[in-house]
């Protein structure tokens, strides 16, 4: 792992630093690089604009650390409203949520109940619900939640991280569920015995996992989300999909708002199913630092945008 990435990931965990920078105007200007605003209304407006370029959306509210179950209930109710607004706006979209946002650290049972409530809303609206994967300490609990949800609800997806050494084995256990998987590289600081420290190994694992899922997707046994801004790798997997006979409807490509926008539009124009992940909310510091760590060159971009 590069020194720059390690520093940024460590900084993402600093509450002191978050308190220092989140209310400063220059930092908030920089954050607009990756998010259209802090309100759901801002995300919906950006989603409408993206629809003109045949881009769907994935909406997620930021915020991971809760201090009470009442907050978890508020998050649940907020996401219930997100489903309604996506449908009312006529958008092609998904909703994505972290288990810790729904109180996983406070009450696993309450978290599961909230997820089942959201899954029922997913069924009622026809809008996919994706369960995000957080750092390695949450993998087993998140997999258990996903298995319980997927056993009763169809439009439920899960994020898996190619950086984790355990992911190939986890994927093997999910095949019977005909899973919907958003494959990402991973954006958390992990020890070397748990995650590949070198980018080349993370990329190799991503290509292998993606190829394996596309082979299953062609048979209707899996739905793959290629969640990466690595355009050469995305193109490699698009070619693999063609080789395996997977149609453009049997996999998707997801990228973040504000990153590789030209590539997103180009892929959509070619007929690929492309969605832009839009994050919003006031608790953006940890998420923002992880975005910079994914590609430290983004720090230079942000510096130039502030000066410009």
Q: Which of 128, 132, 203, 230 is catalytic?
A: 132
Catalytic residue list contains 140? no
Q: Is 157 helix (H, G, I), strand (E, B) or coil?
A: strand
Helix (H) or strand (E) holding 80: helix 69-88
Q: Which residues are bridge partners to 180 per DSSP?
A: 157, 223
Catalytic residue list contains 32? no
**Virtual CA dihedral for 141, 146, 147, 151, nearest 10 degrees?**
150
For residues 86 and 94, give the distance between their C-alpha atoms in angstroms, rounded to a whole number.
8
**Whole-number Cα distances in Å, 51 to 92, 130, 193:** 8, 20, 42
The gap between the terminal CA atoms of the chain, to the nearest Å, is 31
Q: Which of 5, 76, 180, 182 is catalytic?
A: 182
Helix (H) or strand (E) holding 201: helix 199-217
Residue 182 tokens, joined: 């958003």
Give the residue numbers marked as catalytic: 132, 182
């Amino acid at each position: 792992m590069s020194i720059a990435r390690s520093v940024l990931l460590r900084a993402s965990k600093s509450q002191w630093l978050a308190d220092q920078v989140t209310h400063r105007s220059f930092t908030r200007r920089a954050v607009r690089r990756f998010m259209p605003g802090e309100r759901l209304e801002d995300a919906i407006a950006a989603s409408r604009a993206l629809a003109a370029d045949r881009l769907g959306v994935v909406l997620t509210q930021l915020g991971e650390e809760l201090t009470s179950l009442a907050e978890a209930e508020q998050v649940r109710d907020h996401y219930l409203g997100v489903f309604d607004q996506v449908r009312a706006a006529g958008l092609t979209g998904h909703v994505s949520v972290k288990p810790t946002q729904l109180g996983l650290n406070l009450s696993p049972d309450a978290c599961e109940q909230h997820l089942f409530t959201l899954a029922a809303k997913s069924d009622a609206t026809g809008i996919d619900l994706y369960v995000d994967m957080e750092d390695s300490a949450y993998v087993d609990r998140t997999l258990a939640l996903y298995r319980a949800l997927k056993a009763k609800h169809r439009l439920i997806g899960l994020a898996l991280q190619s950086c984790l050494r355990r992911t190939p084995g986890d994927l093997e256990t999910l095949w019977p569920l005909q899973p919907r998987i958003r494959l990402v590289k991973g954006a958390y600081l992990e020890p070397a015995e748990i995650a590949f420290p070198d980018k080349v190994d993370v990329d190799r694992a991503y290509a292998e996992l993606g190829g394996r899922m596309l082979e299953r997707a062609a048979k209707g046994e899996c739905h793959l989300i290629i969640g990466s801004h690595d355009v050469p790798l995305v193109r490699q997997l698009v070619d693999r999909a063609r080789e395996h006979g997977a149609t453009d409807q049997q996999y998707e490509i997801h990228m973040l708002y504000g990153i590789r926008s030209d590539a997103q539009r180009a892929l959509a124009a070619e007929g690929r199913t492309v969605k832009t992940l839009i994050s919003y909310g006031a608790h953006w510091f940890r998420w923002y630092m992880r975005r910079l760590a994914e590609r430290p060159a983004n720090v230079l971009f942000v510096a130039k945008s502030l000066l410009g």
